[in-house]
Structure 1
Amino acid sequence: MPRIIAGALGGRTIPGPPGKGTRPTSDRVREALFSRLEGWDALDGARVLDLYAGTGGLAFESLSRGAEHALLVELHGPTVRQLRRTAAGLGLAERCEIRAGKAETVAAQLATTDDDPVFSLVFLDPPYGVSTETLETLLLTLRPALSDDALVVIERSSRTRALTWPTGWADDGTKSYGETVLQFGGPATD
């Protein structure tokens, strides 16, 4: 069972989604990822968007380490209910919103709604079946909902074609951890 590694809720467990074959980010990868995010000062006060939430591990870890708010998006209905129970059990219900829906649909809604928050940290950890082209299009759709200094973290299999950051986006590096590859990027600041 995944757990929150550090911060105010360090050591607390995160139940897995019911009856769904998710692949939670391993503790090793999450530890390395969050070490990097803390080094970049990307967590304190962050507004987090987790578009393929699964267990919610990345968003809950962010909140534990100082993020202000998180929006978790998940398509699978039973998983959405589990995320809500987990957020309440961790005492995070006031600092996060869990929304049911497709990542692409919610991204389009966020990009066209003036009263939604601007996100400074985005996690894209899609199922392996989601194509690289879909993610590239998703980034373009999502851009209006992101702060100019937003950081986007994409987690994929090492067997998947690497994402090419669209025009107007900066590549902030790639790290590999066995079968897992993390790509970092965000809007280019000229």
Structure 2
Amino acid sequence: MIDEKCNTIHRERGAYMRVIAGSARRLQLKTLDGIDTRPTTDRIKETLFNMIAPYIYDCVFLDLFSGSGGIGIEALSRGAKEAVFVENNPKAMACIKENLKFTRLEKKAVTWNRDVMTALHQMEGKKVFDYIFMDPPYNQKLEQGVLEYLSGSSLVYEDTVIIAEASRETDFSYLDDLGFHLLKEKVYKTNKHVFMEKAGKEEIC
């Protein structure tokens, strides 16, 4: 049975979380109450996907620290071939599964209810992703640990685009040392999206 915290649609900054475009357009998604699963707002999510929309169709998408799954579900709705959701919180994972069922996208989804680093190790040699998105808790340097792992991982192509959502003050000056190229940085009021890859494109939009 889904936890009662997931039985009502949660409002984030005055707006329902919803799918912006694609096959599940306008469907409202459920999230957990509280700050542990801070959802990306609709406005920021729309800005993000406006930048990467031309390349989403038929891609393989990895959503790390998935929360309620809104980013990966948006990718699937817009035509991604597959999305893998990694989320350690079992209550949040229950919401992801309910949202996938509600949007009728569960057949294209794989869910991993475990720690992100454990999941990355277990997927090694089995998956390669076109896009990797991560939205870890802010200011804990979790994104740096993931990038250190991905720098030597077979989970990424040379042109896999990695996107990190982080607080505005988060430092990414170490990217060159890990062999990543900064593609773009989109700064919002309190946070930002940082786009990177091992080599290749000068820009993505």
TM-score relative to the length of structure 1:
0.89
- Report the equivalent of 2:98: 85
| 2:43 equivalent to 1:32 | no
Query: 1:173 is paired with a residue of what secondary structure?
Result: strand
Distance 1:48 1:84 in 2: 16
Distance 1:119 1:14, change over 3 A: same
- The 8 Å contact of residues 151 and 179 in structure 2, kept in 1 or not, is answered as no
Gaps of 5+ in 1: none
CA RMSD of aligned residues (A): 1.9
Distance 1:68 1:146 in 2: 16
Displacement after TM superposition at 1:20 (Å): 6.0
- The 8 Å contact of residues 60 and 129 in structure 2, kept in 1 or not, is answered as yes
AA in 2 matched with 1:170: H
List per-residue Cα deviations over 1:59-81 (Å, max 9, x = no partner): 00001111110000000011112
Question: 1:102-121 residue pairs with structure 2 within 5 A?
Answer: 102-111=115-124, 114=125, 116-121=126-131
List per-residue Cα deviations over 1:101-136 (Å, max 9, x = no partner): 11111112222xx3x231101101101143153243
Displacement after TM superposition at 1:18 (Å): 5.6
- Report the equivalent of 1:175: 186
Displacement after TM superposition at 1:47 (Å): 0.2
- The 8 Å contact of residues 63 and 70 in structure 1, kept in 2 or not, is answered as yes
Distance 1:160 1:19 in 2: 22
Query: 2:49 is paired with a residue of what secondary structure?
Result: helix
Gaps of 5+ in 2: 1-15
Distance 1:88 1:107, change over 3 A: same
The answer to which of 47-56 and 145-154 deviates more is 145-154
AA in 1 matched with 2:24: L
- Report the equivalent of 2:114: 101
Question: 1:144-159 residue pairs with structure 2 within 5 A?
Answer: 144-159=154-169
AA in 1 matched with 2:193: L
- Report the equivalent of 2:4: none
TM-score relative to the length of structure 2:
0.82
Distance 1:87 1:56 in 2: 8
Query: 1:7 is paired with a residue of what secondary structure?
Result: coil
Distance 1:152 1:77 in 2: 25
Question: 1:55-94 residue pairs with structure 2 within 5 A?
Answer: 55-94=68-107
- The 8 Å contact of residues 139 and 166 in structure 2, kept in 1 or not, is answered as no
- The 8 Å contact of residues 126 and 156 in structure 1, kept in 2 or not, is answered as yes
- Percent identical: 27
Query: 2:94 is paired with a residue of what secondary structure?
Result: helix
The aligned length equals 184
Distance 2:104 2:88 in 1: 23
